[in-house]
Chain A
Amino acid sequence: MDFMVFQYPMITVQACLDGILLGILFALIAYGMALQWGVMNIINIAQGDLVILGGYIAYFMYLYGIHPAWGVIVSPIIMYFVGVGIYKLVINKVVDRDLFISILATFGISILFMQLMNFAFGADVVLANSGYGTTFLFDNAVVLPNSKIFSAFISIVFAICLVIYMKKSKLGRAIRATAQNARAAKILGVDTEKVYAATFGINAALCGVAGALISITFTIHPYMGLPYTIRSFMIVIVAGLGNLPGVAMSGMGLGVFEEFADYILGTEFRIGSVFLLLVLILVYRRFKLSRKREYLK
């Protein structure tokens, strides 16, 4: 235990800012998960692996001399088709089946992706340098890498675009209609098969954006996907489906929580504390649910 974070007020500010910037990025991944969970009732365990794959796209652009920030545009385009491909190959066979089956299927995809990425790109840890420099605040006491600020900014831009798209476009309306009632949507002429494929593609594209941002801010490695899946799962559980402000809030909350856990408990408990929080939230929700049920009785 280390309470330095409370002794030096500037560290608290630093932790909060770091956490919020990080949380916005998490929220973007979580939003993709919430979208396809809500529409297709599928929990995508391979979410984190899609993120990492998106990161590799940006990394390869960087290797070939293109600034990795362009990955934010290129990566989602490629990932959209990857997502649609996965849907056509696997997901469409499990989409209206039991939730357990879809979890197993995406778990399989996750393992497959990990090994394929390891095979194709090697087990080296890699990163893409943006060369963005650093912002100093409060007389140099708080330091924010510009790459983190850039990540958060891009995440917000994409989230806003997506919200507008969902509200205004024809496909967006079809997706929302399918989420509300797939059967009714079908009867009214919505091609749900197409909607599902597009939803999965959009989710993969969001993962692609997040992956490109992660390769700029952190590091990527074929086996680093799972923590991102867990985080987005947790954010969605807390926020609920189809609740974007909720996803954003709980994303930032999780980011700040992680940073403080890092300072107080130590970096080794950072991911551990996320898992612990997940368990606590699940137990709490169950508890609340059972109370409600009793009340209904």
Chain B
Amino acid sequence: MKINKIILSFISAVAILLSTSVVSFAKVVGDKIVLGAAISLTGKYSSNGVHTQNGYNMAVDRINSMGGVKVGGKTYKFEIIYYDDESNPKRAAQLAERLISQDGVEFMLGPYSSGLTKAIAPVTEKYGVPMVEANGASRSLFTKGYKYLFAVLAPANLYLDVAIRTAVELNGGKGVRIAQAFEQDAFSQDVRLGILDAAKDTGSEIIIDDKLPKELNDMAATLVKVKQMKPDVLVVSGHTKGALTAIRQIAEMKVDVPMLAMTHCDAAKLSKQHGKNSQYALCASQWHKTLTYKDNFFKDGMTYAADFQKEFGYDPPYQSAESSAALLVFKDAFERANSFDQKKVRDALAATNMQTFYGNIKFAPGGQNVDKPMVLFQVMCDSSGKCENKVVAPLKWASAKLIHPIPKWSKR
């Protein structure tokens, strides 16, 4: 009995000691730079959360194996502490608090989705912890005057802007008639604002402006209206389920529309789930593997995609690519700051101007990346029914010619 008690107290003493020692050393331990991240590993964002985590891990391994980060003449390696935020904003904010005040993390990586980034940003801001995030595109993140938030991706309002401008261009510069359906969440509503701006600029008219519910699985009503009003462009943004539902019902109801533009196609694995029915859909994407940006770590998009495929067994969605880019930005900033002082690193981040395989990165005062345009790809299928996403806009990066207008269902 007595020996048991002694062993027990010994173990608990060691445990307490260990836990306190971890707390007191955690920002830069030995030759490690410890970054913190709350990621959705469970809950409704878990698939994209895993893409994000894979992207982070891939970049950490690559940077570490290629020499790590050099600061003050010494080489450091990246390490990330992950917590599962359960796709819940409240939990994410708590975890950010915990990473910073308990684990002593001094630099953060972003979570997945605009909503969760919104929940974490006030916390990192309060403690002056620089955060490079790769998956929060909502415009409202960049209008709050945050000083420590940096996003490697283009803001949400630019997602489908290109589509409208392309449609107007193809219409001989005259305005087009737009039908749109957007989910009621921060991200999609920002995409909507972008469309409203683009419509105003180009003299286009919005003839259907529907809102989609969170539990969306039927948008027949919107499509019936589209059939009746015959708009030139149909824009849909409602995360994965929006994209899947739209394609299914457009095909079932044989809705003919000259241009169909959407978000979240690669997350929805559109061509895999719908095959030929998804043909001709235009999708907004932050990144595509055929883009020819370059860097020293991943070389270019194609190489990144091949390496990623080898390591994780699937083609990288843009969520992974942008997450990898976040680490490249951090490395670059640490080396330029040549210090681990949070203020200095923050200033170095703000002065970032670099090219990565994912795109050019340069931050506006609000923290959004202003040097990387969105790309549009179109789902194109060959006669055997094999479908591929091909970049069609902007023209500089295009690997195929946009097919416009979409052929009528009766002629397919």
Please report A residues at the B interface, Cβ cutoff 8 Å.
4, 8, 11, 14-15, 18, 22, 115, 118-119, 122-127, 129, 134, 136, 143, 145, 147, 214, 218-219, 221-224, 226-227, 259, 262-263, 266-272
Contact = CB atoms under 8 A, between A and B. Distances in A.
Please give me the 4 A-B residue pairs with the lowest Cβ-Cβ distance, nearest first.
A145-B252, A268-B211, A218-B217, A125-B241
Contacts of B269: 124
* Most chain B beta carbons < 10 A, residue from A11, A127, A222, A271: A127
9 contacts: A14-B224, A118-B42, A123-B43, A123-B44, A123-B87, A124-B267, A127-B273, A147-B252, A268-B210
Interface stretch (B68-76, B198-206, B243-251, B392-400): B243-251
Given A123-B43, A221-B44, 5 more contacts: A11-B228, A147-B252, A218-B218, A219-B241, A270-B218
Nearest to B214: A271
A262 B215 contact: no
A119 B42 contact: yes
B253 A267 contact: no
Interface string B314-340: 000000000000000000000000000
Interface of B: 42-48, 87, 181, 184, 210-213, 215-222, 224-225, 227-228, 239-241, 244-245, 248-249, 252-254, 267-269, 273-275, 277
A124 B252 contact: no
Nearest to A263: B221
A123 B45 contact: yes
A142 to B, nearest CB: 9
A126 B224 contact: no
A238 B206 CA distance: 40
* Most chain A beta carbons < 10 A, residue from B210, B216, B275: B216
Contacts of A14: 224
Contacts of A224: 215, 217
Given A118-B44, A125-B244, A145 B249 contact: yes
Given A259-B221, A267-B219, A115 B42 contact: yes
B43 A118 contact: yes
A125 B225 CA distance: 25
Contacts of B274: 129
Nearest to A22: B218
A147 B240 CA distance: 21
A221 B268 CA distance: 12
Contacts of A118: 42-44, 46
Given A219-B248, A223-B44, A271 B273 contact: no
